[in-house]
Amino acid sequence: MAVNELTLLVVIPLGISIINIFIPSILRKILTFLGLCYLLFLNYNLFIIPAGDAYLFNEVIFSLDKLGFFTIAFIQILSFIILIFSLKGVVKSIEKQFFVLYPMTVAFCNGAVLSAHALGLLIFWGLTGITLYLFGVLGQTKDAPKTAKKTFIIVGGSDAFLILGFVLIWFLQPASAWSLWNVQLELSGQLAYIAFFCILIAAFTKAGGFPFHTWVPDFSKDAPVESVALLPASLDKLLGIYLFARIVLSLFVLNFGIHLMLITLGALTIIIAVMMAMIQHNGRKLLGYLAISQAGYMIMGVGCGSWMCANGDIKGGSIVALVGGLFHLVNDAICKANLFLTLGSVEKKTGTNDLDKLGGLGKSMPVIFTMALISALSISGIPPFSGFFSKWLIYQGVLDLAKNMSPGYQIWLLICLILAVFGSALTLANFMKFLHSIFLGKRPKTLDNIKETSANHWIATGLLATLCIVFGLFAMQIPIKHFIMPIVVEHGWAIPTLIGSYNPILVILFFGLAFLIGLVIYLFTKNVRYDEIYLGGMEPLEKFRVVGTEFYNEIRNMVPLRSLYDGAEKKYFDVYDLGSKGSFSLARLFRSIHRGQLQLYSLWIIVGVLILLWIVK
């Protein structure tokens, strides 16, 4: 009997994970590598010939539609590439646990996406949260246990709401029978809204959407860098936006107000996170905030999806934005994973990810610098890289939706759009700071002997950087045509015509021309005078080195941003810290009436009895 291919996507990595507990290090790596190679091959097979559903107890447990295939494909691609990076360089003391957790995470992520039944999704979703926590406790920093706890409370807590959401859907629409597809629950009545918000909380938490994003920067800072690239940067984002897309496309019929709310939340996520990134001194935390910021674009794009006209047809702009949102998900996962990995390479060589202590490594690590540069430019939305095209699609979609609205809503959408564009500019500004702090400027003396990193790091970051370029140049021909448009077609929607023209080849020609002009100008004015910095006769000390983190100190101190930044640094806007403070206040209140006095407790019993007797009288 042939084994269902969808089942293999879960069983194989899970099996590898279990075997990895018992075998030596080298075999562990080989087995994991071969296993993930096979998963890529399976994925290719699924691309050519779609697999049938998998059954257990005569119930469909695994099934794959086009949205699922899109997510599954990139889970395999990214986990394979990040594995290449992880083959050498994982801290020895945690290597075994890492290679047990790694394929296990892939199995659970696959399971979550393949689940046709909400119960299956709940189980696998919860399991991915557990592996996230276990990766968190492998962190080597002092704060790692604290961060792992915070992460699991936020992520695991959101799972509880996911359960309630699905139970409510089932209650309101029993015919759906816990299916994840074509539920199309109308948002009318309190319970439907509660169900919607419960599931939205889970999706936002996983993807890092505002205001449930606060675990991402901390996890990025404290967990092993490979796991950061794997989970919050790519797989968790894929899962979160996958669930969000399910909400929009098949679980609920959204109304105008909800679409507007989602776009607004997207814009807020973009701008708040990017502003927070500006004041970071820790490279990983900076990337963490930028990962959140990019989730805002996805929320904005996918949140526009399924926006209906009065006659029930789906608006063209909505589809463009949806395509853009999903494409941006892929781009961000690729670029952000690459940026974490490049920073990881630097960290493994220098022993720090503190931007204040780095600098001038472009010369000693040119390959890693180039890969980081490509990813940074791509995710900042610089053409012809992939990030530009996805953002371009989202902007177009939102503009198209705004066309036929009343002026008030037009202004609202325009403000969201401006925030998104401004956020893109600030992303670039942040990456200037990031790149300068690590690779440009004057190199600290302590980093004089730093050499390029190992070949597996080059290959992994090189592959991801290549994807940034290829998906930019051939966006329409590869990712959109083969992975995203089938989702639109499957829903029976018309493929929209894009507003405005964009030709990446033409853009390259323009860039080439600009480069040539720049070169000519340089050749004519190349007699630049270099002088020693005069410091009143003093030796140029380390403290006079210009570090990238100082670029935006003015913004940090600007009124009224200063008080907002102060508040943010004191965690006034962190749902986790707010929840902690609230919980401890209540705990103190309840403890104040539990003083250990026997008389008091006896009184409670007597009063309790009297109340009960009064109730039942």
Give the one residue of 191, 309, 415, 517 binding another protein; rule: CB under 8 A: 191
DSSP summary character for residue 130? H
Residue closer to another protein by CB (options 127, 547) is: 127
Distance CA 288, CA 282 (A): 10
194 interacts with another protein by CB under 8 A = yes
Question: What letter would DSSP give residue 308?
Answer: B
Q: Judged by CB under 8 A, does residue 92 bind another protein? A: no
Among 1, 2, 528, 605, binds another protein (CB under 8 A): 605
**Residue 256 in contact with another protein, rule: CB under 8 A:** no
| Binding-site size, another protein (CB under 8 A) | 53
Q: Is 148 among the residues that bind another protein (CB under 8 A)?
A: yes
Tell me 54's DSSP state.
E
- Residue whose pair of structure tokens reads 């948002």 in the numeric block: 187
| Cβ distance to another protein smaller for residue 519 or 611 | 611
Report which residue type is found at 55: Y
Question: Residue 307, interface with another protein (CB under 8 A)?
Answer: no
142 binds another protein per the rule CB under 8 A: yes
Residue of 13, 35, 89, 129 that binds another protein (CB under 8 A): 129
Could you tell me the two tokens for 13?
């990595």
For residue 604, state whether it binds another protein (rule: CB under 8 A). yes
Asked if 180 interacts with another protein (CB under 8 A), we say no
| CA nearest neighbour of 460 among 26, 27, 36 | 36
196 touching another protein, by CB under 8 A: no
Nearest to 276 by CA among 373, 207, 210: 210
At residue 272, what is the residue type? I
Residue 615 near another protein by CB under 8 A: yes
Binding to another protein by residue 598, rule CB under 8 A? yes
Question: Judged by CB, which is closer to another protein: 18, or 558?
Answer: 18
Q: Contact at 8 Å (CB) between 330 and 483?
A: yes
Which residues, numbered 12-71, are part of the site for another protein (CB under 8 A)?
Answer: 57
Exactly one of 19, 40, 60, 164 binds another protein (CB under 8 A); that residue is 164
Binding window for another protein (CB under 8 A); candidates: 168-176, 242-250, 295-303, 484-492: 168-176
CA angle 585, 214, 78 (to 5 degrees): 150
| One residue of 83, 114, 168, 267 binding another protein per CB under 8 A | 168
Q: Rule CB under 8 A: choose which of 171, 510, 544, 572 binds another protein.
A: 171
Across-strand partners of 55? 60
609 binds another protein (CB under 8 A): yes
**DSSP, residue by residue, 211-274:** TS-THHHHHHHHS-HHHHHHIIIIIHHHHHHHHHHHIIIIIEE--HHHHHHHHHHHHHHHHHHH
Q: By CB under 8 A, is residue 588 in contact with another protein?
A: yes
Q: Choose among 319, 305, 202: nearest CA to 262.
A: 305
Q: Is 193 exposed, middle or buried (0-12, 13-18, 19+ CB in 10 A)?
A: middle
At residue 282, φ and ψ (nearest 5 deg) are -95, 125
Tell me the CB-side half-sphere exposure of residue 535, using CA atoms within 13 A.
Answer: 10
What does the alpha-carbon distance between residue 49 and residue 58 come to, in Å, rounded to a whole number?
23
Contact 398, 412 (CB under 8 A): no
Q: Report the C-alpha gap between 465 and 444 in whole angstroms.
A: 28
Is 451 a binding residue for another protein by CB under 8 A? The answer is: no
Q: Is 167 in the site for another protein (CB under 8 A)?
A: yes
Q: Among 106, 98, 76, 100, which residue's Cα sits nearest to residue 17?
A: 100
Q: Which of 85, 161, 210, 392 binds another protein (CB under 8 A)?
A: 161
94 is an interface residue for another protein by CB under 8 A: no
Q: Which stretch binds another protein (CB under 8 A): 158-166, 275-283, 365-373, 550-558?
A: 158-166
Q: Which is nearer to another protein, 537 or 596 (CB)?
A: 596
| CA distance linking residue 60 with residue 179, whole number of Å | 10
157 lines the binding site for another protein (CB under 8 A): yes
Interface residue with another protein, options 11, 60, 94, 153 (CB under 8 A): 153
Residue 601 in contact with another protein, rule: CB under 8 A: yes
Q: Does the footprint of another protein cover residue 130 (CB under 8 A)?
A: yes
Rule CB under 8 A: choose which of 146, 268, 572, 578 binds another protein.
146
How far is residue 229's CA from residue 334's CA, in Å, rounded to a whole number?
Answer: 9
Residue that is written with structure tokens 């100190």 in the block: 553
- How many helices (DSSP H) and strands (DSSP E) are in the chain? 23, 4
Nearer to another protein, 158 or 430 (CB): 158
| Chosen residue from 414, 516, 519, 586 binding another protein by CB under 8 A | 586
Amino acid (one-letter) located at 284: R
Would you say 2 or 615 has its CB closer to another protein? 615
| Alpha carbons within 13 A on the beta-carbon side of 32 | 33
Q: Is 159 in the site for another protein (CB under 8 A)?
A: yes
Residue 261: CB minimum distance to another protein, A: 21
214-233: contacts with another protein (CB under 8 A): none
**Residue 199's Cα: distance from chain center in Å?**
17
The stretch among 123-131, 283-291, 347-355, 488-496 that binds another protein (CB under 8 A) is 123-131
> With binding defined as CB under 8 A, does residue 581 bind another protein?
no
Q: Are 237 and 333 contacting, i.e. CB atoms less than 8 angstroms apart?
A: yes
> 534-573 mask for another protein (x: CB under 8 A)?
----------------------------------------
80: CB partners within 8 A, 6+ apart: 36, 37, 39, 40
Q: How many CB atoms lie within 10 A of CB 45?
A: 13
Residues at the interface with another protein (CB under 8 A): 57, 122-124, 126-127, 129-130, 137, 142, 145-146, 148-149, 152-153, 156-157, 159-161, 163-164, 167-168, 170-171, 191, 194, 579, 583-584, 586-588, 590-591, 594, 596, 598, 600-602, 604-605, 607-609, 612-613, 615-617
